[in-house]
Amino acid sequence: MRVLIVGVGNIVRKAYLLAIKKLTMDLGVPLQLVGGYDINSETLAEFKKQAEELLGYPVKTFQDLDAALEEAELVIISTPTFSHYEIADKALDMGINVYLEKPPTRYSWQLQALLDKARSMGLGLMIGHPRRFDPRFKVLKEIVQKLGAPLFIRISERASLPQNDSWRWHYDLSGGVILDVGIHYVHLINWLLENDLKLEVRARRVSEASRRWGAPDWAELILRSPETLVSVEVSWVGPKGASESAICLETFFKGASMRLSDLESPGWYISQSSGNFHKIRYSALYSSPIEAFVEEVKYTFEGLETGELSKLYVVAEESLRSMRLLEEALKSSIISS
């Protein structure tokens, strides 16, 4: 299956390329990365170099989207959120299966339109929600199935975002940290609890970039099912060295509790004669281990290969429900500075 990546920035180089390498070279999945498209020629050149080193065969680069799409059977779209809809819509029109990095679209109506089109054309539409393929959360789901609905779940994901004029700081382009990171967890909790959810959001604009360009950079998503309360803290603000606290997860059940902290996850502690003491991570990404992306791309490939597109639509539908829940909650939430 010929795969094209549109938008070859950070997540592609840290996750998708490694996942494709593992899938094709270790697991024998017949995927071929035909090339990458990006508007930035430097990014494109770096991508080509890394991809060819990893995969051992030539990889094309494109700055003409139509020409790029002509080459693909499956397109992985990893551009800024606001551009997803247009690119995905074009790809579907050209009869190409679509894998959209999260958040799938800026607005839920766009995802609904894409899903309708994919269904009517018999094409695959998958949304990249790696948390549900993440071994840590898969084990949590097993425990929930064994012990019953939790009383309370707390998840915290924090990253330090550069204070530059990136599209992410513009609320209308990215949806801020609420959509950009929050969608991971609304989707995850939907998948985990399989129950009706209510959502409230409290959000803040803390950093100078957030206040200047409008995208909230801190939020707590409070989700409630009939049996479970969930608090999800998502933040783009914090110290640069806070990577060790990137993801914390705590779950309380009736008669049990469990906790995962990146402080306790595998890594290498380095104590230096300079007096510095720090931890080197085992994963290039703070948020997900590479195994999650491997599983996710494999799941997509298998759905397309076997023609079981409903497996992909289920994920897209859950993503759509999560988008709608977020949009509804944002209507009544106050974003404070």
Partner 1 sequence: MTRSADYRKVRFGIISFAHVHINRYLPEILSNPKAELVAIVGIGSNKELAERKARELGISYYESLSDMIANSQVEAVYIASEPYLHKEIIEILAPEGIAVLCDKPLATTMEDAEKIAEIVDKHNLKFMMPFNPRFQKPVIKLAQMVRSGELGELISLYTVKVGKNPLTIKGMDTSWFADKERAGFGGFGDIGIHAVDGIRYITGSEVRKVRAYIYSKVHSLDVDDFGVAFMEMENGTQVTLVSGWFNPKGYPTWLNIRFEALGTRGVFTVEKPYHDYWIYTDEGAFRKDWLRVDVPIAVDTFIRSVIDDIEPPITIKDALQNFRVMWYAYESARRGKEMIIE
Tell me how far, at minimum, the Cβ of 158 lies from partner 1, in Å.
7
If phi > 0 it is left, if psi is from -120 to 50 it is alpha, else beta; for residue 324 that is alpha
Residues 277-336 that bind partner 1 (CB under 8 A): 336
102 binds partner 1 (CB under 8 A): no
* H-only helix segments in 148-232: 171-174, 176-180, 182-193, 208-213
State which of residues 28, 30, 255, 275 lies at the interface with partner 1 (CB under 8 A).
255
> Are the beta carbons of 312 and 126 closer than 8 angstroms?
yes
Euclidean distance between CA atoms 85 and 107, whole angstroms: 9
Tokens 């306790």 label which residue? 264
Residues 210-239 that bind partner 1 (CB under 8 A): 218, 220, 222, 224, 229, 231, 233, 235, 237-239
260 binds partner 1 (CB under 8 A): no
43 binds partner 1 (CB under 8 A): no
Tell me how far, at minimum, the Cβ of 199 lies from partner 1, in Å.
13
Tell me how far, at minimum, the Cβ of 276 lies from partner 1, in Å.
16
Coil/strand/helix, residue 291: helix
What is the separation, in whole angstroms, between the first and last Cα of the chain? 48
Closest CB to partner 1 among residues 78, 207? 207
Closest CB to partner 1 among residues 12, 325? 325
* H-only helix segments in the chain: 10-11, 17-21, 41-55, 65-69, 84-93, 108-121, 135-147, 171-174, 176-180, 182-193, 208-213, 290-306, 309-331
Euclidean distance between CA atoms 188 and 132, whole angstroms: 6
- Window contacting partner 1 (CB under 8 A); options: 12-20, 48-56, 175-183, 201-209: 201-209
Residues 6 or more apart in contact with residue 121 via CB below 8 angstroms: 92, 95
| Number of shown-chain residues binding partner 1 (CB under 8 A) | 32
Closest CB to partner 1 among residues 58, 226? 226
Site string (105-144) toward partner 1, x via CB under 8 A? ----------------------------------------
Closest CB to partner 1 among residues 117, 279? 279
Euclidean distance between CA atoms 129 and 132, whole angstroms: 6
Footprint of partner 1 (CB under 8 A):
151-152, 154, 156, 158, 202, 204, 206-207, 218, 220, 222, 224, 229, 231, 233, 235, 237-239, 242, 245, 248, 250, 252-257, 263, 336
